[in-house]
Amino acid sequence: AQTVTQSQPEMSVQEAETVTLSCTYDTSENNYYLFWYKQPPSRQMILVIRQEAYKQQNATENRFSVNFQKAAKSFSLKISDSQLGDTAMYFCASETNSGGGADGLTFGKGTHLIIQP
Amino acid sequence: GAVVSQHPSRVICKSGTSVKIECRSLDFQATTMFWYRQFPKQSLMLMATSNEGSKATYEQGVEKDKFLINHASLTLSTLTVTSAHPEDSSFYICSASSRGSGTDTQYFGPGTRLTVL
């Protein structure tokens, strides 16, 4: 079984600041993927960034980057130059690949990020 | 690309009736679709995995006779909540994944808010 833990229920930063959201996970699988999803008030789940466990290089998407520490089972999200539109719930998620296709995602409880003007 | 639609976006029904929710992948063929449930201020919980042409796989604690899933084609999966009760009121979200896209990334629909009176 997989577990994903997000220990920060809510965070608040000023616009243009950098913020890091924490996530730890536990899995017995060797082949898995990690994701950060954003859920704004509309409740539409939006993929922010993904990381394949076999890749050592940290994934980067524009202002979003991750710090993937496989041995520590840590997967934090860094948002640089934060913008008002970044205000949302952020969910960390893991997915195993059973070989027969995609498996369902296991989500953390989420972090409510508030960007203050 | 990778757009997933859900219909209806919200539905209100009387206790004891059945409700059908549709999930469609609009611009790709989804070999696997997933159904999640999200209670207010909580995370997403996987309910079931649906593969085209085969029976759905349900997570522990999810009643398969109550939540009927049909994945009739590579672009459509339906979730039917049978004999709905007030405790079934929730936000239901589907996602779709395509192995052919080269990734296991799941793309989410906008969700369906179900209220059972």
Q: Which residues is B10 bridged to in the sheet? A: B113
A91 contacts on B by Cβ (under 8 Å): 43-44
Interface test with A, best of B4, B10, B28, B44 (most A CBs within 10 A): B44
pLDDT confidence bin for A1, thresholds 50/70/90:
confident
Q: How long a stretch of residues is chain A?
A: 117
Model pLDDT, residue A99: 58
d(CA B109, CA A95): 18
Q: What's the Cα-to-Cα distance from B4 to each of A90, A111, B7, B48, rounded to whole Å?
A: 20, 25, 10, 17
Residue of higher predicted confidence among B14 and B73? B14
Chain A residue with CA closest to B34: the answer is A104
B107 at A interface, C-beta within 8 A? yes
Nearest Cβ partner for A102 among B45, B93, B104: B104
Model confidence pLDDT, tens digit, residues A27-75: 988 888 999 999 999 999 999 999 999 898 999 999 999 999 999 999 9
Q: Is the pLDDT of residue B99 over 70?
A: no
Q: Is the pLDDT of residue A95 over 70?
A: yes
CB B33, CB B77: distance < 8 Å = yes
User: How far is B35 from chain A, CA to nearest CA, in Å?
Assistant: 9
Looking at B1-117, list the stretches that DSSP marks H as alpha helix, in order from N- to C-terminal side. none
A47 contacts B105? CB cut-off 8 A? yes
A35 contacts on B by Cβ (under 8 Å): 105
A114 at B interface, C-beta within 8 A? no
Nearest Cβ partner for B46 among A37, A101, A105: A105
Model pLDDT, residue B58: 94
Residue of higher predicted confidence among B50 and A10? A10
Tell me the two tokens of residue A49.
Answer: 């960034």
Residue of higher predicted confidence among B50 and A24? A24
pLDDT confidence bin for B15, thresholds 50/70/90:
very high
Tell me the two tokens of residue A84.
Answer: 């008002």
